[in-house]
Structure 1
Amino acid sequence: MNKKQFLMIGLLTVTCTCLKAQNDALPVYLDENQPIELRIKDALSRMTLEEKTRLSYAQGKFSSPGCPRLGIPELWMSDGPHGVRAEVNWNDWGYAGWTSDSCTAFPALTCLAASWNTELAGKYGKAIGEEARYREKDVLLGPGVNIYRTPLNGRNFEYMGEDPYLAAEMCVPYIQGVQSNKVAVCVKHYALNNQEVWRGHIDVQVSDRALREIYLPAFQAAVQRGHAWSIMGSYNKVRGVHATHNELLNNKILKGEWGFDGCVITDWGAAHDTYQAAMYGLDIEMGSYTNGLTSEAEFGYDDYYLGKNYLKMIKEGKIPMEVVNDKAARVLRLIFRTSMNSQKGFGSMNSEAHEQTAYEIASEGIVLLKNQSSKKKAALLPIVPEKYNRILVVGDNATRNLMLGGGSSELKVKRFVSPLEGLKKRLGNRIEYAQGYTAGRPIYGNAENIPQSVMDSLRNDAIEKAAKADLVIFIGGLNKNHYQDCEGGDRLSYGLPFGQDELIEGLVKANPNVVAVIVSGNAVEMPWNNQVPSIVQSWYLGSIGGDALADVMTGKVTPSGKLPFSYPVKLEDCPAHHFGQLSYPGDSIKEEYKEDILVGYRWYDTKKIAPLYPFGYGLSYTTFDYSKPAATSKTLTATDSLQISLKVRNSGTVIGKEIVQLYIGDEECTLLRPQKELKKFCKVELNPGEEKEITFSITPDDLKFFDDRQQKWTVEPGKFKAYIAASSADIRGTVQFEYK
């Protein structure tokens, strides 16, 4: 039993003894055998107005209070979503300097999404939830499910790609896994937080269709299927009102239509008005007057919007008691589910099982983008050690600890296996290293300026060594410095920073046998794409990432990841950038999502713009043959379901996993619809020569669109087409059917 649990049990024992002596019965709110709603009602009946309102704002950087008089404990929160952040000081953003707060870093959520493996998503959630529980955290701030709208967004690495269906399917088991430990998720950032530039005030204008079809489905799945216990309100405005206390988002949709019974918690510093916070759905206010970054030097916690001003407005009759009681009830419900839940267990930290889970996610999320071969020359991957005497590894990311930087997702890890270390384990003394470029220190702020003479020297050294090597492995990309993949600032350009494009082109000229490994949470420009024979999209792979990357590159693991977002050839091809500055990043005040529902592959398909690498794309070391798909019927009605089946065969020589995707296109509609939309997928493992049958079930819900003329989801009678695909651009078979 840890100290906090011991003290809590002691406090509850004393409280129960005193109250039992008074009432000769255990208070209902303390009796976990009673229904939770009865416990909440009983607790509210015993609380003063001051105690109810005090539940709704912070008492420290990552803590909000309970009700000490009644023995109701506080809530403790921690940043996620890729690991449990190191302990932060009580009243400022400095690290506390603990020696017991190192964690397992799991791969970034883009990597999880790229695995397309819902079972792994559940294992991810369960493992990180165990680490949060061990650290005595009640709320883990994640997962992030905002849609990937532009490759410049600094926080895309924390999210699950451009498709709402994929994000929904991956976040639900993650949520269930975390909360099985009696740790609440706090799904973020609700909603439309699709950029970091001007994030605190940019006013997003978006159609009802795009809101419902693209930007809200993952949040809805998190609430209605994942049963998330808390949601984080985002910094930005939506239609003129800050999202964290937005009547449409919180009251009408989240708590009204979706029936959310948990807490809306601010992002740190995202509240701006007492009346709106009280009336429009905010339940717990964190980090106000700090913008999430500075200290509480000038303000006390009672100065928060839901502090003394909230209490004053209630006493003046400006805020009804039903609002106060609803807010307090939601916080109590969260406390009873987490910190006051005697079934919550003890958790575990940095276990072999957690490292194995991190490894599995990393190895299944890595995407092989290119692996060119010819009649005269075999593909460079997988690496056959015996073919090479000298292998040169080049790049700052080969050795860099990429758990540092990035903002609130920064992690202090117990163990870090770099890509260079992982490759050396498998390839031994064949490996030589040249840095090639430097990105400077991992800092949160302006990028460090590196003298050009230093960059020239590093580049020239790498190119000279490349000319003498048998194989060159470049490991670069982004690195969580500011203006790269980092909270608080978007990328400044689509191209790679630190002269990496020039370096890659120099390496290829010196030696045509180059494998480029791009470490990032975003697509990057690849002017050298046609020159480099093998390209790997690696993500921020966590503590054990070096081992996973090395195993994929050497063939111990066959790559099976597929892109969760499209790779545009140039930035102007991306829909958010096609319509000019007002569409992204806005005019500093307002922003219009002019691409509407045509986000990601929906845009490229419909506008017939070829991406560099399409959504759902990824190569393997083996090959997969698809049979012709067949449907159980040519028609579908409102009360029916329709099954589509096909067989997939591994026609190669090594075991592998294939992600079979099903898209549906509406052939006839009175409103614009994308050419096709992802509706189902299945990841299947096959031995060489093995064949398996896959069946997808289609219902009328899979055909629906949001009709903003009627303000409801609907499906029109007519012709539809189901596409069986290996990616959004690789259609293996189609089935036509009619909805009547």
Structure 2
Amino acid sequence: MSSDENYKIDAYMMLKPIKSILILLLMVSIGAKTEAQNTLPVYLNETATIEQRIEDALSRMTLEEKVAMCHAQSKFSSAGVPRLGIPENWMTDGPHGIRAEVFWDKWDQAGWTNDSCIAFPALTCLAASWNTDLSSLYGKAIGEEARYRNKNVLLGPGVNIYRTPLNGRNFEYMGEDPLLSSRMVVPYIQGVQSNGVAACVKHYALNNQEIDRHTVNVDVDDRALYEIYLPAFKAAVQEGKAWAIMGAYNKYKGQWAGQNQYLLNDILRGEWHFDGVVISDWGGINDTKQAIYHGLDMEFGSWTNGLTMGASNAYDNYYLADPFLKLLKSGEVKEEEVDKKVRNILRLVFRTNMNTKRPWGSFATEEHALAGRKIAEEGIVLLKNKNNTLPINLAKTKKIVVIGENAVKLMTVGGGSSSLKAKYEISPLDGIKKRIGTQAEVVYARGYVGEQPKAQDGLSTGDSITDNRSADQLMKEALTLAKGADFVIYIGGLNKNDKQDSEGNDRASLSLPYNQDQLITELTKVNKNLAVVMISGNAVAMPWVNEVPSIVQGWYLGTEAGNALAAILVGDVNPSGKLPFTFPAKLADNGAHKLGVYPGKGEEKYNESIFVGYRWADKEKIKPLFSFGHGLNYTTFEYGKVTADKKDLTADGKITFSVNIKNTGKREGQEIAQLYINDVKSSLPRPVKELKAFDKISLKAGETKTVKFTIDKTALSFFDPKKHDWVAEPGDFNALVGASSTDIRTAVAFKLK
């Protein structure tokens, strides 16, 4: 068969969802001509409750139709019931943009010309904004893009905890702290689902490494599970009301997470009362019986190219396909087991693509690009700014030299499932040139050579940044230009190639690749007007930290990357982001590496327990390279004395802490005030302090505002594994308010009675 014929067949198959929708519209149209809405079948009658509609639809389905809904029929879709007008479910990768269309049975690009999306900043950047309003904006915008493309499930956001800076997929997540992740994920979910698109929160749970992710069994104690690794998922379910959850690849208690009795049945549905659909990660299912009984609803990607097994239809051979059907027909498995799954799937359908009131969405719009730029600007973190090197004083700057491969390397393609076919991506160099214009000369030097951008699934950046000069030649050129410049901007860091920030593998070390450390060190010797910009989704070692006057953490910023970064560097925007995770000076300063062998082969034991990130640094009295919650501003803030509205907190009451914050600088800025709680004495070991609230406020020069934090006893609780419950012990506590986990400005004592 010719390639053209193949393409026609694949294109036809991509249009299959239209068939179901046309049937549905026809049936609704027929119903509309009747005397009353209630003459429609109950499952089509939107005046009935969703549960009534589910039971009616279920009663009309054959066993084969039920089983067909429980597994994939293509790379990113599962079957509906055309006979009943129930449409197919269509998934799309997120969480930073809507994945380009691929062929029915292949990962390769389908060749569409209208599927170029807006690339939003990576979720590390969103978390670094500490702005829940921006999280809502992000969710709403990406949900509109998914809705416009007729996807009813967005595979994101990711909320796995940042346990180690080597995890290749950390850039997709929201940092190391369960409270910050919880507060940021809820509005994202609500924004997505306001479009009638389900947010599928991932990867549930304990997916904290990419090496051996399909086989590793995570050994973690119950306290760490409940206090560190589950809270963001719990908030997503109970507060965000997420309609879908994706199981992780790894094992927990010897069972794969996507078919796990403890995670899915006992906790997710039993303790949290989740009523949505559980979706497997692609290729994450390994056993029919466990998939049936251990909480999975929809199986995807078990043989990821669709045809490897040589079957006429590989999807019929999925664990929840023909093997499931045979067990049902033989009576070995009761029909109630498939009914449980189909109820959840139908609930998803009625909430999304059978909800006639959901909006139409919009795609690749200027509004979405500007939303992404706003998020990028608020997420960029100013780590260091000795002698106010930044913002660049353009009135005194005639020549700027930009150095580094990441100034021109596009970052939207690659990295795994978050790879995007972006409508456009403005590089840092182009953004700087565009902003500065004729105010100063901008000269570029490569400085180092990393890797040519790699295509993924047939998608490439179209960018050629090949340079065959030697490392010595590149460094010599960079240093020569830097000597004669009024200002030097170094833009380096990591990229989305294998063993950096990328799905499927972990980083090889904490150090920068491509000999960047030597280059940066040499630059500090020839020009003191230097700003180093790190593009990464992970912490990196900085052996030159004391010599560099200004350091900016830039993240993967998406479509508007260059414009956002330029706005920060020249001071059009005052930086206000703060780190969502700790930057350790060396790997041994991280608990997972100090106490264990990472990555675990077959078994990964979380010896550090609850002491993750700043909790470990506090416990061991380690000074981080940069602290959790740290981020500078182009203005300064003064904290007053924190006060409590009462001395004692009762078990059923609340207590409010108030602190005045004043902008003591000369320009408007935003500050993120952070409340930490210290338990003076506990029956079980506890962290020195834990984040329990935060607030991002904007202050004009000279302005003072009062920040209030209200908590109840849940903020004082820890998980008691013997009682399998949360416990708040009476006693003495301290409320600590500061600008980061190591910059506590004021404290007040109180008691829990």
The TM-score range, normalised by the shorter chain, is over 0.9
Instruction: Output the CA distance in 2 between the equivalents of 1:520 and 1:315.
Output: 52
Q: Which amino acid aligns with 2:512?
A: L
- The residue number in structure 2 matching 1:393 is 402
Q: Aligned pair in 2 of structure 1 residues 438, 294: CA closer, same or farther (>3 Å)?
A: farther
Is 1:728 aligned to 2:744, yes or no?
A: no
Q: Residue 638 of structure 1 aligns to a residue in which SS?
A: coil
What is the DSSP-based 3-state SS (H/G/I as helix, E as strand, rest coil) of the residue aligned with 2:99? coil
Find 2:147's aligned residue among 118, 122, 133. 133
Mapped partners of 2:241, 2:578: distance in 1? 28
The separation in 1 between residues aligned to 2:551 and 2:307, in whole angstroms, is: 44
Q: For the residues of structure 1 that align with 2:469 and 2:18, how far apart are their CA atoms?
A: 59
Q: Pick from 143, 149, 153 the counterpart of residue 167 of structure 2.
A: 153
**In structure 2, distance between residues paired with 1:423 and 1:257:** 51
The residue identity in structure 2 corresponding to 1:431 is: V
Q: Could you tell me which of 280, 283, 291 is aligned with 1:277?
A: 291
Contact 2:24 2:87 in 1 (8 A): no
2:4 aligns with none
- Report which stretch shifted further, 422-431 or 180-189: 422-431
Instruction: Give the structure 1 partner of residue 430 of structure 2.
Output: 421
| 1:12 maps onto 2:21 in alignment | no
User: Is the contact between residue 279 and residue 319 of structure 1 (CA under 8 Å) also seen in structure 2?
Assistant: no
Matches of residues 179-578 of structure 1 in structure 2 within 5 Å? 179-290=193-304, 296=308, 298-299=310-311, 300-373=314-387, 379-428=388-437, 429-443=440-454, 454-578=470-594
Deviation at 1:49, TM superposition (A): 1.1
Q: Contact conserved, 2:412 with 2:420, CA < 8 A, in 1? A: yes
Task: Give 2:655's aligned amino acid.
Answer: L
Whether the 8 Å contact between 2:416 and 2:504 is mirrored in structure 1 is: yes
Which residue matches 2:42?
28
Does the Cα contact within 8 Å between 1:36 and 1:333 map onto a contact in 2?
A: yes
Return closer, same or farther for 1:5/1:347 CA change in 2, 3 Å cut-off: farther
Which residue is equivalent to 2:619?
606
Q: In 2, distance between residues paired with 1:295 and 1:391?
A: 54
Conserved? CA contact 2:117–2:421, under 8 Å? yes
Q: CA deviation at 1:466?
A: 1.1
Task: Please name the residue that 2:97 is paired with.
Answer: 83
Residue 344 of structure 1 deviates from its aligned partner by 2.0
Q: What is the letter of the counterpart of residue 95 of structure 2?
A: P
Q: Following superposition of structure 1 onto structure 2, how do residues 168-183 of structure 1 map, counting pairs within 5 Å?
A: 168-183=182-197
Q: Shift of the alpha carbon at 1:338?
A: 1.0
Please give the secondary structure, in 1, of the residue aligned with 2:596: coil
Instruction: Give TM-score, length-normalised by structure 1.
Output: 0.96
CA–CA distance in 1 between the matches of 2:173 and 2:361?
25
d(CA) in 2 for partners of 1:7 and 1:304?
24
Preserved contact between residue 406 and residue 444 of structure 1 (Cα < 8 Å) = no
State the Cα distance separating 1:473 from its structure 2 match.
0.4
Partner secondary structure for residue 644 of structure 1: strand
- 8 Å CA contact 2:416–2:503 kept in 1: the answer is yes
User: Are the structure 2 counterparts of residues 213 and 444 from structure 1 closer, same or farther at C-alpha, using a change threshold of 3 Å?
Assistant: farther
Aligned letter for 1:663?
Y
* Structure 1: runs of 5+ lacking an equivalent: 374-378
Residue equivalent to 2:74: 60
Aligned-residue offset at 1:635: 0.6
- 1:662 maps onto 2:678 in alignment: no
CA–CA distance in 2 between the matches of 1:422 and 1:294?
Answer: 42
Q: What are the superposed Cα offsets for residues 650-692 of structure 1, whole Å, 9 maximum, x if unpaired?
A: 0100100000000111111110000000000000000001111
Q: Distance in 1 between matches of 2:446 and 2:30?
A: 67
The amino acid that maps onto 1:97 is G
Mapped to 2, the partners of 1:217 and 1:166 lie a distance apart of 10
**In the TM superposition, what is the alpha-carbon distance from 1:25 to its structure 2 partner?**
2.8
Residue 54 of structure 2 is aligned to residue 40 of structure 1: yes
Aligned-partner SS, 1:336: helix
Q: How many residues align?
A: 726
Q: Tell me the residue number matched to 2:602.
A: 589
Partner of 2:179: helix, strand, or coil?
Answer: helix
- Judge conservation of contact 1:91–1:296 (CA < 8 Å) in 2: no
Change (3 A) 1:430 1:272: same
Q: Is the 8 A contact 2:677 2:733 kept in 1?
A: yes
- Superposed CA offset, 1:42-92 (max 9, x none): 001111111111110000000011111111000011100000011111101
Aligned-residue Cα RMSD (Å) equals 2.0
Contact 1:679 1:702 (8 Å CA) reproduced: yes
Secondary structure of 2:470's partner?
A: helix
- 2:635 is matched with which residue? 622
- Counterparts of 1:450 and 1:245 in 2: how far apart (Å)? 45
* Aligned twin of 1:712: 725
Aligned-residue offset at 1:296: 4.5
Provide Cα deviations, 1:330-367, integer angstroms capped at 9, x if missing partner: 00111111121111221101212111110110000000
- On the 8 A contact 1:112/1:361 being kept in 2, the answer is yes
- Higher mean alpha-carbon deviation, 456-465 vs 38-47, is at 456-465
**Are the structure 2 counterparts of residues 512 and 80 from structure 1 closer, same or farther at C-alpha, using a change threshold of 3 Å?**
same
Are residues 444 and 494 of structure 1, via their aligned partners in 2, closer, same or farther at CA, if it must alter by over 3 Å? farther
What residue is the counterpart of 1:674 in the other structure? Answer: 687
Amino acid at match of 1:547: N
Give % identity.
Answer: 56
Alpha-carbon shift at residue 454 of structure 1 (Å)? 2.6
Contact 2:638 2:663 in 1 (8 A): yes
Aligned to 2:459: none
Q: What is aligned with 1:376?
A: none
Instruction: Give the Å deviation of 1:451.
Output: 9.7
Paired letter, 1:456: D
| Residues 98-117 of structure 1: pairs in structure 2 closer than 5 A | 98-117=112-131
Letter in 2 for 1:336: F
Matches of 1:678 and 1:24, distance apart in 2:
52
Distance in 2, Cα, partners of 1:133 & 1:62:
15
Secondary structure of residue in 2 paired with 1:727: coil
Correspondence for 1:687 = 700
Q: 1:14 and 1:556, CA in 2 relative to 1: closer, same or farther beyond 3 A?
A: closer
* Per-residue Cα deviation, 1:673-729 (whole angstroms, up to 9, x for no partner): 000000000000000011111111110111110000111111111111110010000
Output the amino acid matched with 2:413.
L
Q: Distance in 1 between matches of 2:297 and 2:134?
A: 32
Q: Distance in 2 between matches of 1:18 and 1:129?
A: 31
Q: CA separation in 2, counterparts of 1:294 and 1:576?
A: 38
Task: After superposition, give the CA deviation of every residue in 1:264-298 in whole Å (9 maximum; x if it has no partner).
Answer: 101000000000000000000000023xx786563
Q: Check 1:730–1:66 CA distance in 2 against 1; reply closer, same or farther (3 A cut).
A: same
User: For the Cα contact (< 8 Å) 2:166–2:506, is it kept in 1?
Assistant: yes
CA distance in 2, matches of 1:60, 1:493: 38
Counterparts of 1:316 and 1:86 in 2: how far apart (Å)?
41
* Conservation of the 8 A alpha-carbon contact between 2:20 and 2:80: no
State the SS of the aligned residue for 1:657. strand
Distance 1:143 1:239, change over 3 A: same
State how far apart, in whole Å, the 2-side matches of 1:452 and 1:547 are: 29
In the aligned structure 2, how far is the partner of 1:162 from the partner of 1:648?
26
